[in-house]
Amino acid sequence: MELDWLLAPPLPDTLPRQRVLYHRLREAILSGRLAPGTRLPASRSLAASLKIARNTVLFAYEQLTAEGCLLADRQGTRVASLPERATPPASSGHSPVTRLRLAARAAAVLQPEPAREAAALPFAPGTPDYSAFPFRTWRACQERAWRDAGWRQLGYAAHGGDPVLREALAGHLTTVRGLPVDAAQIVITSGTQAALDLCARLLADHGDTVWAENPGYLAARAVFGLAGLLIHDVPVDDEGLAPREGDWSGHPPRLIMITPSHQYPTGRVMSLPRRLALIARARQAAAWIIEDDYDSEFRRAGPAPPALFGLQPDAPVVYAGTFSKTLYPGLRLGYLVLPHAIAADFARATTQAMRPGQGIEQRALADFIHRGYYTAHLRRMRGRYAARQSALRTALKEAFGSSVTLSGGEAGLHLVMWLPAGIPDGAVVARAATLGLGVRALSSYTRPPMTCNGLVLGYGNLAEGMLAEAVRRLGVAIEGCDGAGALADCHQPPPLAAN
């Protein structure tokens, strides 16, 4: 049998000869070029024919025999009988691979979204100032965590997360946020997305309805869609989530997702009467409120508004927090605070669903909090971001006139700049991207029938030295989309309007 073609040129430079022989023999068997029952030459004969070492042939034969492609016995080596490879109908014009697809629910995460590369660009929302991160202090906490590490830090985390971190977080939330919580109520997660995923799977069943803010957090919609929940959009007004009676009767929720301290992306703060009313109606509907306390750490003036979680005893509220903005996103640590009634069961279910780890990072973070570094870092960053927002407001008014309307600056790392109807925000964002800006369109966070037109301007990573040039480029992007001269009469359009 002539098998010289097994090592015929071209040969890949990155693979050793034995791997090339193995791959070509395997493909010949799977494609049918070497039919079932075909006897292959003895290893010595094939090695001599191909002018290679016998061990090279032995490797390929033994590997393919182990995989079931070859059969070896006292009579020699022959090709095994394998199931026929499925082929598509001749008229389809598709290979078998192209007919494979994701589940229908995966469409929830395949919708267009801002490019991840935009995160490092000026005006990219939600990007903290990495240059101000206390690297030396954090490194020292990690070194202590590694020095004292035991089997628990190197294995799966305990139910609910590292007990030391849960205790540190309970103290921090009680002292700084005014939440009357203890460590047993806290479950450590791998960030906000993981926290929302756990809530979607452990507090609701497939087909249940979840309310989402409109406009609202796009990544939350992806999580809920993948969990098989029905997403019902509820409009946001000046006081936050504004459900109507028809929402309660026509789309009774199992979950209600809100960002009351600094609604994303509009920046509205939910009023106290609205918070109390929402808790009361959620009780009646047997619904859970997921309170994402987004950006409450970076409050500009006065204390943060009271969290829904602590407003009433045994309120059906789950409180979610993260260290992605206060420290850095790559840390992938967040947390949930749960009512006592479900905390223990939720923690055990989390362990079964996630098999959490990050023991070293959790212990380092506990040390960082216990030593007061976290509170001090928040204090420094709060002042730093306040100064950047003030400088950005001044620069925008100088560039676009005092009539430019800005909102959402009570907390957080972004402002909303409202645009006249004659300047579509999507067109501005597209043009701004060509100028190296990461600004996002307010309309991209909105679902029909609500409409809004504006720009979400992140300033967390906007250093003083780049502010003037960034605002100048933003002006170029807006002017390039202002064919009717609408900017000359810049005023705030109806912020959220139903068609």
| Mean pLDDT of the region 115-123 | 66
Describe the crossing of helices 373-400 and 359-370 by its angle, rounded to 10 degrees. 90
Specify whether the CB–CB gap between 300 and 411 falls below 8 A.
yes
Question: Could you tell me which residues are beta bridge partners of residue 71?
Answer: 78
| pTM exceeds cut of 0.85 | no
Specify whether the CB–CB gap between 214 and 233 falls below 8 A.
yes
Which region, left, alpha or beta, applies to residue 434 given φ > 0 means left and ψ of -120 to 50 means alpha?
alpha
Specify whether the CB–CB gap between 470 and 122 falls below 8 A.
yes
pLDDT of 113 strictly over 80: no
Residue 116: predicted pLDDT: 53
- Per the listing, tokens 């023991």 go with 359
| Mean pLDDT of the region 155-182 | 89
pLDDT of 288 strictly over 70: yes
Q: How confident is the model at residue 485 (pLDDT cuts 50, 70, 90)?
A: low
| Mean pLDDT of the region 131-141 | 95
| Mean pLDDT of the region 100-117 | 69
pLDDT of 201 strictly over 90: yes
Which region, left, alpha or beta, applies to residue 27 given φ > 0 means left and ψ of -120 to 50 means alpha?
alpha
Tokens coding 181: 């919580």
Residue 278: predicted pLDDT: 97
Residue 63: predicted pLDDT: 94
pLDDT digits (tens, 9 = 90+) for 43-87: 999 999 999 999 999 999 999 999 999 999 888 999 999 887 655
Output the CA angle 322-326-331, nearest 5 degrees: 60
Collapsing DSSP to helix, strand or coil, 483 comes out as: coil
Specify whether the CB–CB gap between 472 and 146 falls below 8 A.
no
pLDDT of 320 strictly over 50: yes
State how beta strands 454-458 and 414-418 pair: antiparallel
Specify whether the CB–CB gap between 477 and 140 falls below 8 A.
no
Residue 476: predicted pLDDT: 94
Instruction: Tell me the H-state helices in 408-481.
Output: 425-434, 464-480
State how beta strands 230-237 and 240-241 pair: antiparallel
Residue 421: predicted pLDDT: 85
Mean pLDDT of the chain: 88
Q: How confident is the model at residue 118 (pLDDT cuts 50, 70, 90)?
A: very low
Describe the crossing of helices 192-202 and 218-226 by its angle, rounded to 10 degrees. 40
| Mean pLDDT of the region 143-167 | 86
Residue 109: predicted pLDDT: 75
pLDDT of 95 strictly over 80: no
DSSP 375: H
Q: Which has more pLDDT, 54 or 118?
A: 54
Specify whether the CB–CB gap between 323 and 293 falls below 8 A.
no
Residue 396: predicted pLDDT: 94
Q: Which has more pLDDT, 108 or 217?
A: 217
- Per the listing, tokens 């906000």 go with 192
- d(CA 414, CA 124) in angstroms, rounded, equals 9
The amino acid that residue 398 corresponds to is: E
Residue 481: predicted pLDDT: 83
Specify whether the CB–CB gap between 262 and 321 falls below 8 A.
no
Q: Exposed, middle or buried: residue 222 (CB in 10 Å: 0-12, 13-18, 19+)? A: buried
- d(CA 177, CA 374) in angstroms, rounded, equals 14
pLDDT of 88 strictly over 70: no
Residue 1: predicted pLDDT: 67
Collapsing DSSP to helix, strand or coil, 422 comes out as: coil
Q: What percentage of the chain exceeds 70 in pLDDT?
A: 91
Residue 491: predicted pLDDT: 46
Residue 494: predicted pLDDT: 43
Closest CA to 395 of 462, 445, 340: 462
pLDDT of 241 strictly over 90: yes
